[in-house]
Each structure stands twice: as C-alpha cells, then as structure tokens.
Amino acid sequence: MFDFGFWEIAIIGVITLIVVGPERLPALARKAGVIMGKLNKFLNKVKADINEELKTDELKEHLSMDDEKSIISDISNEAKSSVDLFNQNDAQQDDSKL
C-alpha cells in the first residue's frame, strides 16, 4: 500500500517517540493500528463494490449483445424463409408455364 523503507519507518518512529513520549507511544501505536485496519477494510470493501459493479455492467453489456444477436438471427431467419417462399412461388410459376 505504502512504499516505506526501513530507514523511513525508523525516522518516523524516533520522531514519534520524541514528540509523544514513551508512556503514550503504545496507546498511540494501538490506535494507529486500529485506524489502519479500518482503513484497509474500507478500501477492500470499496474495491469489492467497484468490481461487483463492473461485473454487473459487463453482464448487462453481454446480455444486450445477446439480445442484438437474437434480433439479427430472427431477421436473418425471416429473410431466409421469405427467399425460400419466393423461390417456391417462382418454381410453381415456372411449372405452370410448362
């Protein structure tokens, strides 16, 4: 999440020890841990919600494409049946001319 090296963390720890003092440092560290845990849970929940919405959008798009494919297939089938009917009528007219 954060890109801190050993020396950065050590400097932050020393400055915190000087500013807060050794008596209040454990309580502050505990509070910081609780806050980081809550922040991590919140971020994971937001990520999960975003991923769920993206999946929902993808499914809606996929269903929309399936509907379009279905409509195109129906039109194609109707056109084929019309052509077949036309060919049958044309063949019957040719037979009646003979």
- Predicted confidence pLDDT, tens digits, the chain (98 residues): 567 899 998 999 899 999 999 999 999 999 999 999 999 999 999 999 988 888 887 777 777 777 788 888 888 888 888 888 888 877 777 666 66
42 vs 29, 35, 79, 97, CA distance in Å?
Answer: 20, 10, 55, 82
Give the start-to-end residue ranges of the domains of the chain.
7-97
Q: What is the 3-state secondary structure (H, E, C) of the chain?
A: CCCCCHHHHHHHHHHHHHHHCCCCHHHHHHHHHHHHHHHHHHHHHHHHHHHHHHHHHHHHHHHHHHHHHHHHHHHHHHHHHHHHHHHHHHHHHHHHHC
